[in-house]
């Protein structure tokens, strides 16, 4: 998500060949033993995705993109802001209606709560095999201590504490009871209920922010557990990997229920914000460093086995078209998965679609949006990166390489992802076209032991000419505004995953060249 903070691709090609040219870099050796011991490798990076605010889930385009990403990743839950926004209509204690030319009158038979849109929102998710990851936000205007205390997003969420916690507690209890009545406790008990969003930034108006957030959390957690002890509740849902240790200590000291710890980090967060140091931490290790920090804090807390959920992460918290729109995301994502494995139960990529309005109505499909799918359901390279990495198995084979990841599946197939990470070609809101010279290729010699020496190999690649709609968009001149149907069709075709190549090992070996920002996946049958 975008946050008000200071901001501190690549054409790719990949070739298979039998011998390296004289000028080529010495090949990096990747040796995989298909029969080697493994460690469990749950797909923590694709269990949950973020999305635009709650009401957008009623749009056809949102649900179309949801199904696309579900088919690619089989993700289990989606998290969004604003289930309590006035536009969703839950809380309205004195609801009125007004016809043209007539004075307003009280709605007949209206109660304090109206679950109509909430039911449609959650029904739509569940119908597509996706559960809600329930972020409890923001404040209904008529419940706010200061209804004019709003955050800067396009839809201006009210971030004030409640004027009376008895009203908040009652709404939380009614909300939880309604969900149980509609979906059953066995279903609702599988959901995560997260209290608020990033209370250490301008999404929370209480002052001082952490003590007043703890008050909000305490009221919310106790109200939920009063409805059912089986409801899973957690927090603090902070930005910049902040305050998790303080939060858990607070819960312990005050005997407040907590079932998971959640926080956020983005790869362009600063060391000053995350670690309170003056380091210059590059984009390819910031997320890992933050995840490791919080993992270690939990291990030293009163709850050393508390599940850790990073309920937002991405390569950027702001719109950077050279980052989130481009093939840069392939190596960045793969490397992040390699580093964070074993440190967190789940990482929720922000977000699955650019059906998204935090900065206003989308004006052009490639503006650095956070989603895997651009406007008009045009697939981005990041969608293809997720599709490729979804093919990884559930058992990790240890490698010493820092630019490769190997797994084995239950059926005996071996999967190897490898990449050539390089910084993005540009940063910030203005797009920088790829330079003529894009950097140094990496040469890999892959050896797979424990399989037939001529085993079949399926190869998937993400590069400038495969699965990259941005190159086609550049060729069009990066048109602003709405696209024609012909342009949309062309961009969808350019952004689609290229068909897998069917190859064979030669004496157990395969040699491959990967350019900067390139991602490759081999599946050895």
Is residue 503 in some structural domain?
no
Domain count, the chain: 1
- Spatial CB neighbours of 405, under 8 Å, sequence gap ≥ 6: 334, 337, 338, 392, 396, 399, 416, 417, 418
List, run by run, the mean pLDDT of 10-residue segments along the chain (525 residues): 40 32 69 95 98 97 98 98 97 87 80 95 98 98 97 96 98 98 98 98 96 98 98 98 98 98 98 96 97 98 98 97 97 98 97 95 94 97 98 96 96 95 95 90 94 94 92 94 94 94 94 94 94
What is the DSSP code string of 403-465?
A: SEEEEE-TTS-EEEEEEE----S--SSS--PPPSS----EEEEEEEESS-TT-EEEEEEEBTT
Q: Locate 119 and state its tokens.
A: 């039911």
Please tell me the predicted confidence (pLDDT) of residue 97: 82
Assess contact for 261 and 306: CB atoms under 8 A. yes
CATH code of the domain covering residue 148: 3.20.20.80
Please tell me the predicted confidence (pLDDT) of residue 23: 43
Is residue 340 in some structural domain?
yes
Is residue 189 in some structural domain?
yes
Is residue 379 in some structural domain?
yes
- Spatial CB neighbours of 94, under 8 Å, sequence gap ≥ 6: 106, 142
Is residue 305 in some structural domain?
yes
Q: How many residues does the chain have?
A: 525
Is residue 505 in some structural domain?
no
Please tell me the predicted confidence (pLDDT) of residue 325: 97
CA-to-CA separations, 330 to 223, 337, 403, 410, in angstroms, rounded: 42, 11, 12, 25
Model pLDDT for residues 89-103, shown as the tens digit of each residue = 999 998 888 889 888
Is residue 143 in some structural domain?
yes
| Distance between CA atoms of residues 513 and 503, nearest Å | 15
pTM of the predicted protein model: 0.92
- Spatial CB neighbours of 274, under 8 Å, sequence gap ≥ 6: 240, 241, 242, 265, 281, 286, 289, 290, 293
Q: Please provide the distance, in angstroms rounded to a whole number, between the alpha carbons at the two ends of the chain.
A: 39
198 is catalytic: yes
- Placement of tokens 């973020």 in the chain: 50
Question: Among 46, 194, 198, 297, which one carries the catalytic annotation?
Answer: 198
CA-to-CA separations, 435 to 254, 426, 438, 494, in angstroms, rounded: 57, 10, 6, 20
- Spatial CB neighbours of 443, under 8 Å, sequence gap ≥ 6: 20, 24, 25, 26, 27, 28, 511, 512, 513, 514
- Spatial CB neighbours of 142, under 8 Å, sequence gap ≥ 6: 91, 92, 93, 94
Domain of residue 134 covers 42-395
Model pLDDT for residues 422-460, shown as the tens digit of each residue = 999 999 999 999 998 888 999 999 999 999 999 999 999
Q: Locate 40 and state its tokens.
A: 């469990």
Please tell me the predicted confidence (pLDDT) of residue 7: 36
| Distance between CA atoms of residues 350 and 216, nearest Å | 25
Is residue 23 in some structural domain?
no
Assess contact for 364 and 379: CB atoms under 8 A. no
| Distance between CA atoms of residues 265 and 308, nearest Å | 13
Instruction: Measure the CA dihedral 320/322/326/328, to 10°.
Output: -110
Q: Assign 3-class secondary structure to 160-181.
A: CCECCHHHHHHHHHHHHHHHHH
């Amino acid at each position: 998500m975008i946050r008000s903070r200071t901001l501190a691709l690549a054409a790719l090609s990949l070739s298979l060949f039998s011998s390296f040219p004289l000028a080529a870099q010495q090949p990096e050796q990747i040796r995989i033993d298909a029969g080697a011991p493994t460690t469990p490798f749950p797909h923590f990076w694709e269990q949950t995705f973020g999305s635009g605010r709650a009401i957008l889930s009623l749009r056809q385009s949102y649900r179309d993109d949801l199904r696309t990403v579900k088919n690619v990743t089989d993700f289990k839950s989606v998290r969004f802001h604003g289930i309590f926004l006035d536009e969703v209509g839950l809380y309205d204690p004195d609801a009125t209606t007004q016809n043209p030319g007539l004075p307003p009158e009280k709605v007949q038979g209206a109660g304090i709560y109206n679950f109509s849109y909430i039911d449609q929102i959650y029904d739509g998710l569940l119908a597509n095999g996706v559960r809600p990851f329930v972020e409890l936000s923001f404040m209904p205007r008529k419940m706010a201590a200061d209804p004019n205390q709003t955050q800067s997003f396009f839809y201006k969420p009210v971030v004030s504490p409640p004027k009376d916690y008895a009203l908040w507690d009652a709404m939380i209890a009614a909300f939880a009871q309604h969900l149980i009545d509609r979906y059953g406790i066995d279903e609702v008990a599988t959901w995560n209920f997260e209290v608020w969003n990033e209370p250490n930034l301008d999404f929370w108006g209480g002052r001082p922010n952490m003590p007043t957030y703890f008050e909000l959390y305490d009221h919310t957690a106790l109200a939920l557990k009063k409805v059912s002890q089986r409801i899973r509740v957690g927090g603090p849902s902070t930005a910049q990997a902040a305050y998790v240790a303080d939060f858990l200590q607070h819960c312990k000291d005050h005997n407040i229920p907590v079932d998971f710890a959640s926080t956020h980090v983005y790869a362009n967060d600063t060391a000053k914000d995350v670690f309170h140091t003056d380091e210059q931490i590059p984009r390819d290790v910031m997320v890992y460093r933050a995840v490791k920090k919080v993992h270690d804090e939990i291990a030293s807390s009163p709850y050393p086995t508390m599940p850790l959920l990073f309920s937002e992460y991405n390569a950027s918290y702001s719109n950077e078209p050279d980052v989130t729109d481009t093939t840069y995301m392939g190596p960045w994502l793969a490397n992040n998965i390699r580093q964070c494995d074993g440190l967190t139960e789940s990482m929720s990529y922000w977000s699955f679609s650019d059906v998204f309005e935090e900065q206003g109505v989308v004006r052009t499909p490639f503006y650095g949006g956070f989603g895997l799918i651009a406007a008009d359901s045009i697939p981005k390279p990041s969608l293809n990166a997720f599709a490729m990495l979804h093919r990884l198995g559930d058992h990790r084979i240890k490698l010493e390489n820092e630019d490769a990841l190997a797994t084995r599946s239950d059926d005996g197939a071996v999967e190897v992802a490898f990449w050539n990470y390089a910084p993005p070609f540009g940063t910030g809101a203005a797009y920088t076209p790829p330079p003529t010279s894009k950097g140094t290729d990496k040469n890999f010699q892959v050896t797979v032991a424990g399989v037939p020496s001529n085993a079949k190999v399926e190869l998937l690649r993400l590069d400038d000419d495969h699965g990259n709609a941005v190159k086609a968009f550049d060729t069009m001149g990066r048109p602003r505004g709405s696209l024609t149907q012909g342009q949309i069709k062309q961009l969808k075709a350019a952004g689609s995953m290229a068909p897998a190549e069917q190859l064979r090992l030669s004496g157990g070996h395969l040699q491959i060249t990967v350019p900067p920002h390139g991602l490759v996946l081999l599946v050895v049958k």
